[in-house]
Amino acid sequence: MNEKDYDLTQCGAIRGCPKSVVNIEQLAKNIELALGECHTDDHFHHKQQKLRMALSGCPNCCAQNLIKDLAAYGWAEPKVIDGNCIVCGLCVQTCRERAISLKDNAPEIDRNRCLTCGECILTCPSGALTKVADGLVVTAGGILGRHPQLAKTVRRFAFEEGQQLILNLLEKFKSSPRTGEAPGQAIIRVVQEEVG
pLDDT in tens, the chain (196 residues): 444 578 888 887 667 788 888 888 889 999 988 887 555 555 554 555 788 999 999 888 777 889 999 999 999 999 999 889 999 999 999 999 999 999 999 999 999 999 999 999 999 999 999 999 999 999 999 988 888 999 999 999 999 999 999 999 998 888 877 777 778 888 888 998 888 7
Question: In the chain, which ranges are E strands?
Answer: 6-10, 51-56, 70-80, 100-103, 106-109, 129-140, 152-158
Residue 128 to residue 188: CA distance in whole angstroms: 41
- Do residues 38 and 91 lie in contact, with contact meaning Cβ atoms separated by under 8 Å? no
- Do residues 137 and 129 lie in contact, with contact meaning Cβ atoms separated by under 8 Å? no
What is 78-131's CATH number? 3.30.70.20
User: Start-end ranges of CATH 3.30.70.20 in the chain?
Assistant: 78-131
Residue 121 to residue 100: CA distance in whole angstroms: 11
Residue 54 to residue 72: CA distance in whole angstroms: 7
User: Start-end ranges of CATH 3.30.413.10 in the chain?
Assistant: 3-73+134-194
Q: Burial letters for 118-149: b for 16+ Cβ neighbours within 10 Å, e otherwise?
A: bbbbbebeeebbebeebbbbbbbbbbeeeeee
Q: Which amino acid is residue 166, in one-letter code?
A: I
The dihedral built from the CA positions of residue 36, 40, 41 and 42, taken in this order, carries a sign that is: positive
Q: For the chain, how are helix, strand and coil distributed in percent, rounded to 5? A: 35, 25, 40
pLDDT of residue 45: 47
pLDDT digits (tens, 9 = 90+) for 95-126: 999 999 999 999 999 999 999 999 999 999 99
Q: 3-73+134-194 belongs to which CATH class?
A: alpha beta
Q: What global pTM score does this model have? A: 0.86
The dihedral built from the CA positions of residue 180, 185, 187 and 193, taken in this order, carries a sign that is: negative
- Indicate the average pLDDT of the chain: 87
pLDDT of residue 138: 94
